[in-house]
Structure formats: C-alpha cells, structure tokens
C-alpha cells in the first residue's frame, strides 16, 4: 500500500515557537496513528473516539501532517482506562500544564475537562493526547454548549475499520475558538462535505461562542 503524501502543517512563526517551547518543557512525542492505537484499545469496554485533525482526515480524505493524535473518552471512564492500561502504559493527568500520574494513589481525575497523556516509561515519548469529555450521567456533553448533551453514538461515526470519530462539524466548532492558521485547511476540506443541516448547526453554535469568526460568512 502506498503511503499518502501529507500536506505539511501550516503554522505561523508564533505557533511554531509555542510548539518548540512546549516540546522543550514536556518532552518528545511519538504519536500512534488511530489504527495503531486501536490495537492498544482492543478489549476496552467503554466508548472512545478520535477527535482533532485525524477525525477531519477520516471524514474528508484530506491528508496532512499530524503533530499528535487526539482521542477522547468520557471523564467517568478514566478509572476503567487506568486499570486497562496497567502494566503497559503509564497514564498521566494534565491539568493546565501540571502533570501527575494516575494509578493507585490517584485513580481518577478531579477536573473532567483535563487531559490524559500516555507513555511507556519516564524516558519514553508520549504516544496519545486524551482531551477528556465531561459526561452527564454517562452521556457525551459539549464542552462549550451547555445544552448539547447526547449519546456518544449520535455525535460520532464509525469508519469501515470500526474506529469511531467525532463528527467533523463538532471538531471544527472546537477548533474555531482557537483561531489558528493550521486549522484553516481543515475547514476548507470539510466545508464541501457538510450537509445543509450540519452547516446550519455549526453556524448557530459558532455564533454563540465566536460571533465575529470569519468562518461564519462561509457557512
């Protein structure tokens, strides 16, 4: 199988400097792609799904460079994940840049909007970034729209290989508030694939959090 040629990730000089400083502080990353990570998750009995740039690629076919792989789970399922990964991967909780390992001493997270990072050991690179999804009685919730609560199956879709991905319009909604140059190609690739209903949802949602966003005129 031929490896697709990936478009280099577009960053402003400020974004690149921020990325370089991040790696210097927290260490190297060697992210697994979704298919490789899916093998690590075989047997995990709770829902998980891919978000971010990989979710855009799966939905559109637009192949670009990925600086990391973002996967999400419900915050209520953190203890189950920690136990599932025991003996294979160390699970760390990142709360606003402060890291601590999860395990017997800290079996779960106090901040359901925080992240999990996984690595094999202290000298190994990080392999996965898990931005957690706060749940409402086991249901998915939108981090920025308080009334958007649904079953995981209704806000994700399953590819042919069984991997679940967050719907692309929700991915873009999350990205929009950051206003990053690197997210512009994702928007351009996704816009033609969205139905009128999905465009309308994204426009209405974006108006609530970023009413001056330049994407609105395209929606």
The whole-angstrom separation of Cα 87 and Cα 207 is 45
Q: Are 115 and 123 in contact (CB under 8 A)?
A: no
pLDDT tens readout for residues 101-156 = 999 999 999 999 999 999 999 999 999 999 999 999 999 999 999 999 999 999 99
- Is residue 1 included in any domain, yes or no? no
Domain containing 59: what range?
25-171
- Is residue 217 included in any domain, yes or no? no
- Is residue 30 included in any domain, yes or no? yes
Look-up of token digits 């709770």: 46
> Which pLDDT does position 19 carry in this prediction?
84
Q: Are 134 and 75 in contact (CB under 8 A)?
A: yes
Residue range 2-10: mean pLDDT, rounded: 71
- Is residue 15 included in any domain, yes or no? no
- DSSP 8-state class, residue 75: G
CA-only gyration radius of the chain, Å: 17
Strand, coil or helix: what is 95? strand
Domain count, the chain: 1
Whole-angstrom CA distances from 58 to 134, 181, 217 are 24, 20, 25
> Which pLDDT does position 84 carry in this prediction?
98
- Is residue 100 included in any domain, yes or no? yes
CATH number at 138 reads: 3.30.460
- Is residue 157 included in any domain, yes or no? yes
pLDDT tens readout for residues 21-53 = 888 889 899 999 999 999 999 999 999 999 999
Q: Which of 82, 84, 49 is nearest to 159 (CA)?
A: 49
Predicted structure pTM score: 0.93
- Residue 11 pLDDT grade (very low, low, confident, very high; cuts 50, 70, 90): confident
Structure tokens at 193: 């694939």
Residue 135 phi, psi (nearest 5): -115, 160
pLDDT tens readout for residues 160-206 = 999 999 999 999 999 999 999 989 999 999 999 999 999 999 999 99
Q: Are 148 and 127 in contact (CB under 8 A)?
A: no
- Is residue 177 included in any domain, yes or no? no
Residue range 66-95: mean pLDDT, rounded: 97
- Is residue 191 included in any domain, yes or no? no
């Amino acid at each position: 199988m031929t490896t697709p040629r990936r478009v280099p990730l577009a960053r402003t000089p400020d974004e690149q400097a921020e990325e370089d400083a991040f790696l210097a502080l927290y260490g190297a990353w060697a992210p697994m792609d979704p298919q490789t990570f899916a093998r690590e998750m075989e047997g995990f009995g709770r829902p998980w799904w891919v978000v971010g740039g990989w979710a855009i690629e799966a939905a559109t076919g637009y192949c670009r460079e990925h600086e990391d792989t973002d996967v999400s789970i419900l915050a209520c399922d953190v203890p189950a994940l920690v136990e599932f990964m025991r003996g294979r991967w160390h699970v760390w909780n990142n709360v606003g840049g402060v890291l601590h390992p999860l395990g017997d001493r800290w079996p779960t997270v106090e901040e359901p909007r925080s992240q999990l990072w996984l690595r094999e050991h202290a000298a190994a690179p990080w392999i996965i970034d898990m931005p957690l999804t706060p749940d409402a009685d086991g249901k998915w919730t939108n981090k920025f729209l308080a009334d958007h609560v649904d079953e995981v199956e209704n806000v994700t879709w399953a590819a042919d290989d069984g991997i679940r991905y967050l719907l692309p319009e929700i991915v873009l909604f999350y990205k929009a508030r950051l206003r990053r140059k690197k997210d512009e190609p994702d928007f351009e690739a996704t816009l033609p694939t969205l139905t009128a209903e999905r465009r309308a949802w994204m426009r209405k949602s974006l108006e609530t959090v970023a009413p001056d966003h330049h994407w609105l005129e395209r929606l």
